[in-house]
Amino acid sequence: MTLPSTFNRNSTADQVLEGKNLSGKIAMVTGANGGIGYETARSLAAAGAHVILGCRNSRLGEEALAKIRLAHPNAQVELVSLDLADPASIAACVESLSTRNDIPQLDILICNAGSMSTKYLLTDQGIERTVAVCHLGHFILTKGLLDTILKAPAPRIVMVSSESHRYPLRLNFDNLLVAKKQNRITAFNAYGQAKLCNALMALELQQRYGSQGLTACAVHPGALVTTGFGRESWLTQALFTLASPLTKTPHQGAATSVLFATHDNAEDIAGGYFSHCRTARCSAEAGNKDVAKKLWDFSEHHLHNYANV
């Protein structure tokens, strides 16, 4: 392993990219209008990459673009509409990017967008919203963009997972999409299951497409309070406030994503799990190749009910 030992939980995205020239690289970051998604996109653009911000809220997306351009006048940034809970929005995003002559390849895809509600919410397709956004929406997006991704000389996909992937201990395929409300399915349970899916998806991407030059990994960005998670719950917000001394800023939270999206030696990170800019040990379930393949097959099987991608 040749991972840099100088970076840690306090490192920022700009620090890990210092000295890197990403000119000629095309990157896409989902959920890039705020928090770690914004800092991920901004830092990549500051290093010279052409960055596509995939955002659900167009107003917030435009504000993010303006902030990046103000901070970095030469930045190459653009906005695409992307609602990961809406299959039509995903299909439109894939179509628009796949048919553009000025985007011959996609070098970096960072699946960062997330969602967690303390209420039980279903999408129009009858899928629990957290799982739909965090896993299935990213699965559909990634599959739709694979041809464009694999055209890159050294394509990289980073799945933003979480230490929450450790709970539940096993992926519940009987109710993976949480379409059946059960008392034991809480918001944090659904979120943990979705984050486990993120780690498993990185593992399976590496198994399926590593021979074609793709490198995929999963990362834990760190504990953050500057997100929309639990915004409708005063109790959740109070807990986040109490935990704030132990949390990271978005600038620090983005560091692990951009480090492993741009690290030169692909062998160091292929199929791995990383936290605080360092190698970390994922749960036994997240490292199970049989479960990863089962999840991929399961997700593909449900695509015809969810999206025409």
Stretch among 70-79, 131-140, 190-199, 298-307 having the lowest mean pLDDT: 298-307
Write out the two tokens for 14: 């700009």
Q: Tell me whether strands 278-279 and 273-275 are parallel, antiparallel or unpaired.
A: antiparallel
Backbone angles phi, psi at 210, to 5 degrees: -60, -35
Whether 191 is a known active-site residue: answer yes
* Residue 247 neighbours by CB distance under 10 Å: 15
Q: What percent of the chain has pLDDT over 70?
A: 87
Domains of the chain with bracketed CATH:
13-300 (3.40.50.720)
40 and 258 Cβ atoms separated by less than 8 Å: yes
Residue 265 binned pLDDT confidence (cut-offs 50, 70, 90): very high
Residue 2 has pLDDT above 80, yes or no: no
221 and 251 Cβ atoms separated by less than 8 Å: no
Per-residue H/E/C for the chain: CCCCCCCCCCCCHHHHCCCCCCCCCEEEEECCCCHHHHHHHHHHHHCCCEEEEEECCHHHHHHHHHHHHHHCCCCEEEEEECCCCCHHHHHHHHHHHHCCCCCCCCCEEEECCCCCCCCCCECCCCCEHHHHHHHHHHHHHHHHHHHHHHCCCCCEEEEECCHHHHCCCCCCHHHCCCCCCCCCCCHHHHHHHHHHHHHHHHHHHHHHHHHHCCEEEEEECCCECCCCCCCCCHHHHHHHHHCHHHCECHHHHCHHHHHHHHCCCHHHCCCCEEECCEECCCCCCCCCHHHHHHHHHHHHHHHHHHCCC
CA distance 185 to 296: 22
Catalytic residue among 38, 120, 191, 273: 191
Over residues 9-30, the pLDDT tens digits come to 999 999 999 999 999 999 999 9
> Between residues 94 and 305, which one has the greater pLDDT?
94
Residue 174 binned pLDDT confidence (cut-offs 50, 70, 90): confident
Write out the two tokens for 249: 């800023």
The single residue listed with the structure tokens 């939270």 is 253
Across all residues in the chain, what is the average pLDDT? 89
**Prior bond to 168 cis, omega within 30?**
yes
Over residues 209-259, the pLDDT tens digits come to 999 999 999 999 987 645 555 545 555 555 445 444 467 899 999 999 999
Residue 309 has pLDDT above 90, yes or no: no
Question: Judging by beta carbons within 10 Å of its beta carbon (0-12, 13-18, 19+), is residue 139 exposed, middle or buried?
Answer: buried
Q: Which among 33, 39, 31 has a CA at the least distance from the CA of 14?
A: 39
Q: Quick one: pLDDT at residue 305?
A: 65
Residue 62 binned pLDDT confidence (cut-offs 50, 70, 90): very high
Q: Quick one: pLDDT at residue 242?
A: 47
Residue 72 binned pLDDT confidence (cut-offs 50, 70, 90): very high
The mean pLDDT value for 64-69 works out to 98
Over residues 118-158, the pLDDT tens digits come to 788 888 888 889 999 999 999 999 999 999 999 999 999 99
The mean pLDDT value for 269-291 works out to 97
> Between residues 65 and 173, which one has the greater pLDDT?
65
Q: Which among 283, 24, 288 has a CA at the least distance from the CA of 163?
A: 283
